[in-house]
Structure 1
Amino acid sequence: MTDRKVSPGGAPAAGAVGVPHRWRALAVLACTQFLLILDTAIINVAVPSIGADLDISPTGLSWVANAYLITFGGLLLLGGRSADHVGRRRVFVIGLVVLVVGSAVGAAADSAGWLIAGRAMQGLAAALAAAAALALVLGIFPEGPERHRALGIFAAMAGAGGAVGTVLGGLLTDSLGWRSTFLMNVLVGAVLVVLALRLVPDMHEPGDRRAFDAIGAGTVTAGLGLLAYALVSTGNLGWLAGRTVGAAVLAVLCLLAFVVVERRSSHPLVPLGVFRRRRLRTANVLGGLAQLILFPTFFFVSIYLQDVLGYSPLGGGLGLLPMSLVVIGVAGMCERLIARLGLEVAMTAGFVLVALGMLWLSRLSHDGDFVSDVLGPTVLLGIGLPLVTVTTNVAATAEATVAEVGLASGLINTSQQIGAVVGLAVMAGVAAARTSQVTGDDPARLDPAATTAGFQAAFLVGAVVALVAAVVAVRLRRARPVTPGPATVSGR
């Protein structure tokens, strides 16, 4: 029989088999992850309708997306560490409540300013909820097969959210208008708040409620936010524009100040010693590289289906449906694959599959079709995506003690988000440069062949990055996990 650790209050300890409703709690957490990814995809589809209705300029429309990315990327680490300090369920529920409020602001917006404010609130909500949700999964499920299975389900819901969002975004926008995409978050978010309070255990470490490093929190949040701002600005302003370079310089200064503050703090927000863990460092780098490749790829494939092959927005979303179904199927098998192959082999195999899928996509044809040009490579990516996501999450969090799971989840989430923003900036730049080379900088010559040439170049860069990641993954060695101490869990 499995021993169960019990807190003084009588509730089972975190990770113990006796945690009540742990699979129901996982369902709530995974559905939240699904909603957060779904929301991003839906808004991308709804943006043209928003611009036409509110008469927002293209630059203003870009900030509908950028406001979310900046607050999300800038606050993830703070969200994860806050979960360790003030309680993971509390931060998770606060995130959901902010999501409901921010979505209501977006739904009622009658100007670009209010809409961007609502999106910024949604980004804050996503940072709190996403970091706390992963921390809760790590706390509820112990290191081993059950955690691998739980992370597989978590990854499956995230992958499905991206694909379903493009389809649902088209349906909602066409039938009910763009405001319905925000109202959906209000309704679903409110339901998740109720379910979270009933089913998700309230986990905390007795020693967590110590002094909070406010200066460290401020400098790292400013640094990551400015870094995200600099990266998303490259699309509108260019890499060498004054605002882009200025934001990047300020980001570096803030992050350097953060390092100085953490070295001197008696209760640092991020103990710098965690970065001496080679496995944690490598896993975070690999997690960032994975999203650097995959996030812009979904965006480019959707554009290719619509702008080159002539699909409707709904048809473009449906084109990603086979991949999402493969993601769900493979994610459910990750536990067995990791047990059979080993963590490093499964991770390396995932990156190799991603590289092959990207290499295949780099051979797109401007006069091709869905079956011959898109279906095969996206199915390969659907196999590689959950393998890469689950294994990097496992590797990045396996050494975390009970008091560090929020920190570990914040770090890997931040690495993935910054990787996604970097990837979109870099691959979009590569695609634009290649397209300009084909057209000779003459916009009048822009045609499907030139657009496809740009995508081919971007996908080829993604294939090279995936191969580099596969080589790094081969060198990753499984470290002995730190034995976690008991955590207090109280259920409702």
Structure 2
Amino acid sequence: MDTLTVRSHPGTRAVPSWAILAVACLGQFMVILDVSIVNVALPSIRHDLDFSETGLQWVVNSYTIVFAGFLLLGGRAADLFGQRRLFLLGLGLFTGASLVGGFAQSQGMLIAARAAQGLGGAVLSPATLTIITTTFREPAVRARALGAWSAVAGAGGAAGALAGGILTDLISWRWILFVNVPIGAVGLIVARLLLTETRNEDAPRRMDFVGAVLVTCGLTAFVWGLVDTDTHGWGSVSALAPILVGVVLLAVFMFYESRVKAPLVPLRLFRSRSVSAANAAMFCISVAIFPSWYFLSLYVQNSLGYSPLVAGLVFLPQTFTIIVGAQVGSRVIARFGVRALVAAGGLISSVGLFWLGQIPVTGSYIHNLMLPSILTALGLGVAVTPITLAATTGVARSDAGLASGVVNTTRQVGGSIGLAALVTLAANHTRSLRNEGQAAASALVAGYGRALEAAAVLALLGALAALALPPLGRRGGPADVADRTDSGTAGGASTGERPASVAPGTVSRPG
């Protein structure tokens, strides 16, 4: 097994690469876990802190929006200041914010703590991927490591519901946050012992804080407006004004990025067909799949009467399916290629989501929940590794950390916008049915079903977006060129720059 020399301690000793991989995966698992761990606990949080139906989603979105807004800055910071330093900083902030959130006595305190968690995650997550790409240099080994990282990232979303249910039912919803404290403390100690400091000496020496603030404020305003349409309707000033402000801020962000010397998002990245198509597919799939866990968590508790513990167990098959799907996807890329796997994953998830959309008021667990949920999770698992791989292919080496930050940002932005939009769609449909005289229980479930059917369409759009990907990863195709050259002469990216080392054994040249 490969080893990594740790230079940050007196004397020189070798650290097994599996230990480095375990540390990186632990950090990523904590970050992704906290996107969904609150879902099962939402009814309990609403009761204790007196949230409204629409206000409750900010417990989720305050985390994901800040995470998305600052993730790109975190990716650049990992290149600039060093992966070890950023890993420790992000994990420390994440752990501290979890402790504060567990003690929250008001809505504002909890939402602020969740936002601080998102900031910590935005620093931590890019560092985990950078650690993997600098530790595992042999293409086949790096592909397996990336597959493990992707499996952990994907499984964290589903496992969050399981952990949230167990902790909420057996102890208190506050322990969905407290649980991060001992894990984070152990992670900090182990990371200090094992990780060595490396940084990208080619990275720009400037940080684009203005860009991070613009994109975060723009996303927050846009999502705020979407949420407010549930209360005041699409034609109201209170809803349209924040949406318009959000659109303007995001437009200013794009303009600013095209002018600043060291942009948060170099627009040249998207000249690569692989990067653009992969991020488009990631956005559509995230918009569709991640909000589905929110609806299923509410459905099994509000409609089927499951306890938080049982509700968490409902998601166990999804957890294992995502892990299996991610491992399968990472191992068959050489045979089928990235494009086929992403398209197949999106299509499988679309079928599963449409099936979920047919949920009745009193449904059967096997037929109405387990089987379609497994299909949805399988599609995500199959697609996540190829998407990550394609999104980090064909960029300059100096932008390796940033490219990973872009695709992770796309995932979180998709989840945030999808949650706000689909919750609003569900609430509006439920209200319309109630106004027509339909019973409250059936109207509520019909709202969930309408949102899940819309999610199925969005997942299908992700599969269609995958068709724009170049033929990456398939053995004998252009992907193999990157493995045989490090100079870019035989496989230059579409930008004309050197291929990024983050792409494990795949393409450096669009097909």
Fold shared by both chains (TM-score > 0.5): yes
Aligned pair in 2 of structure 1 residues 349, 214: CA closer, same or farther (>3 Å)? closer
Checking the alignment, whether the CA contact within 8 Å between 1:434 and 1:457 is kept in structure 2 is yes
Aligned pair in 2 of structure 1 residues 151, 247: CA closer, same or farther (>3 Å)? farther
CA deviation after TM superposition for structure 1 residue 413, in Å:
1.2
Name the structure 2 match of 1:431: 426
Name the structure 2 match of 1:333: 328
- Deviation string 1:399-456 (CA, Å, 9 cap, x unpaired) is 23332122112211111111112222232233333333433355x8212x33332233
CA deviation after TM superposition for structure 1 residue 232, in Å:
4.8
Q: Does 1:86 align with 2:115?
A: no
The aligned runs of 1:18-167 (5 Å cut-off) are: 21-54=16-49, 61-142=56-137, 144-167=139-162
Q: For 1:342 and 1:100, how far apart are their aligned partners in 2?
A: 39
- Of 429, 454, 472, the residue aligned with 2:447 is 454
Greater Cα offset, 126-135 or 314-323: 126-135
Checking the alignment, whether the CA contact within 8 Å between 2:64 and 2:413 is kept in structure 1 is no
CA deviation after TM superposition for structure 1 residue 178, in Å:
3.0
Name the structure 2 match of 1:440: 435
Checking the alignment, whether the CA contact within 8 Å between 1:344 and 1:474 is kept in structure 2 is yes
- Deviation string 1:255-278 (CA, Å, 9 cap, x unpaired) is 333333333333333322112112
Which residue identity lines up with residue 448 of structure 2 in the other structure?
F
Which residue identity lines up with residue 465 of structure 2 in the other structure?
V
Q: Does 1:195 align with 2:190?
A: yes
- The runs of 5 or more residues in structure 2 that have no matched partner are 9-13, 473-477, 483-492, 503-511
Which residue identity lines up with residue 439 of structure 2 in the other structure?
R
Q: For 1:362 and 1:179, how far apart are their aligned partners in 2?
A: 31
CA deviation after TM superposition for structure 1 residue 56, in Å:
5.6
Aligned pair in 2 of structure 1 residues 203, 378: CA closer, same or farther (>3 Å)? same
Name the structure 2 match of 1:477: 470
1:206 counterpart SS class = coil
Aligned pair in 2 of structure 1 residues 322, 239: CA closer, same or farther (>3 Å)? same
User: What do you get for the CA RMSD once the two structures are aligned?
Assistant: 3.1
2:198 counterpart SS class = strand
How many residue pairs match? The answer is 476
Aligned pair in 2 of structure 1 residues 94, 45: CA closer, same or farther (>3 Å)? same
More helix by share: 1
Aligned pair in 2 of structure 1 residues 475, 274: CA closer, same or farther (>3 Å)? closer
Checking the alignment, whether the CA contact within 8 Å between 2:288 and 2:458 is kept in structure 1 is yes
Which residue identity lines up with residue 445 of structure 1 in the other structure?
A
Q: For 2:305 and 2:47, how far apart are their aligned partners in 1?
A: 21
- Deviation string 1:55-107 (CA, Å, 9 cap, x unpaired) is 56666644433322332222122222222222222222211111122112223
Q: For 1:355 and 1:153, how far apart are their aligned partners in 2?
A: 24
1:311 counterpart SS class = coil
- Of 203, 212, 215, the residue aligned with 1:208 is 203
* TM-score normalized with structure 2 length: 0.84
CA deviation after TM superposition for structure 1 residue 240, in Å:
4.5
Aligned pair in 2 of structure 1 residues 309, 111: CA closer, same or farther (>3 Å)? closer
* TM-score normalized with structure 1 length: 0.87
CA deviation after TM superposition for structure 1 residue 30, in Å:
1.5
CA deviation after TM superposition for structure 1 residue 173, in Å:
2.5
Which residue identity lines up with residue 122 of structure 1 in the other structure?
Q
Q: Percent identity?
A: 38
Name the structure 2 match of 1:343: 338
- The runs of 5 or more residues in structure 1 that have no matched partner are 11-18, 488-492
Which residue identity lines up with residue 184 of structure 1 in the other structure?
V
1:211 counterpart SS class = coil
